[in-house]
Amino acid sequence: MLDKRIWKTYCINWERLHNFIISRIHRTGSADMQQAVVSAGLQQTAGTEDIQWTYSRIGGLEMGFEGFSKEALKFLFENRMNNSKEWYEEHKPEYRKYVYEPFAELVKELEPAIKEIDESIITVPSKIISRVRRDTRFTKDKSLYRDNAWIVFLRDKTRMSATPCFWFELGQNGISYGVGYYSAQSASMARMREMILGRHPSFMAALKAYESQNEFVIGGESYKKCKYPDQPENIKQWLIRKNIYFENVHRDYRPAFSRELPEVLINGFRKLKPMYDFMLLVESSA
């Protein structure tokens, strides 16, 4: 057993270190903790009374997630305001340092927990970190760049708008994270309502999970008139949705600026797993 007094140069705490080691065990198929520690880039420090470890690399990165910074928000804002490819290219190293690399580090730390929730979810940083440039083909707003950034964990990137996903977003007005659809298909929502009205066990598990926590709030565009007046109020708020998600919004940046953000997100995503499982079942039945 590894002693909880383990430390390393970049001060990653015990739980995060444990998650990295477990991920190496899963990847290598080894049940040998010592081998997993070495493969994670940790070396035992000789000649010390306490068990100590120095850190060289984890997940192919030089250091773990240390929190986002004001510089990330500053870059995103200025890039949007300048609205210039030339300005972006000139300041691209800032984007890599303050935006992309912290997001990539965050993904690496979330990966073991995400894979526990759903092993089919994509966790390759380059595939799930938002692009800095906007797609302006189908919008009146022709601004080249966005002033926010996010990661989205999902199974099929080609159906990003219509498949359930976990997300974390960093923007100019705060942060948000949760699970749900960006734009659910009408057939999926129709099937969801059928399962809700039939009190499907998966829905009942999702309802229980939602009502047993106070971190996330149900959201999504609603119909103006409820077609199910006889249903209990707590059920109606699911039935009236054209789209559905469960979201936590912070108007300050303290969680994002902290190295504890991965634990915040992992704990939150685990609470949301029953809702995610319900939506997956809806998609498989729609």
The pLDDT score that the predictor gives to residue 139 is 76
On whether the CB atoms of residues 216 and 248 are closer than 8 A, the answer is: yes
Three-state DSSP class for residue 247: strand
Q: Which residue's structure tokens are 């192919």?
A: 60
Higher pLDDT, 116 or 42: 116
Q: What is the pLDDT confidence band of residue 16, given thresholds at 50, 70 and 90? A: low
Compute the distance between CA of residue 283 and CA of residue 270 in angstroms, rounded to an integer: 20
DSSP code, position 45? P
Query: Domain boundaries in the chain?
Result: 1-61, 70-285
The pLDDT score that the predictor gives to residue 93 is 97
Percentage of the residues of the chain whose pLDDT score is greater than 70: 77
The pLDDT score that the predictor gives to residue 140 is 73
Compute the distance between CA of residue 165 and CA of residue 123 in angstroms, rounded to an integer: 12
- Residue 37: Cβ within 10 Å count: 20
Compute the distance between CA of residue 184 and CA of residue 200 in angstroms, rounded to an integer: 20
- Domain spanning 70-285 has what CATH number? 3.30.930.20
Q: What is the pLDDT confidence band of residue 152, given thresholds at 50, 70 and 90? A: very high
Lowest average pLDDT, out of 5-19, 45-59, 180-194, 243-257, goes to: 45-59
For 152, the enclosing helix (H) or strand (E) is strand 149-153
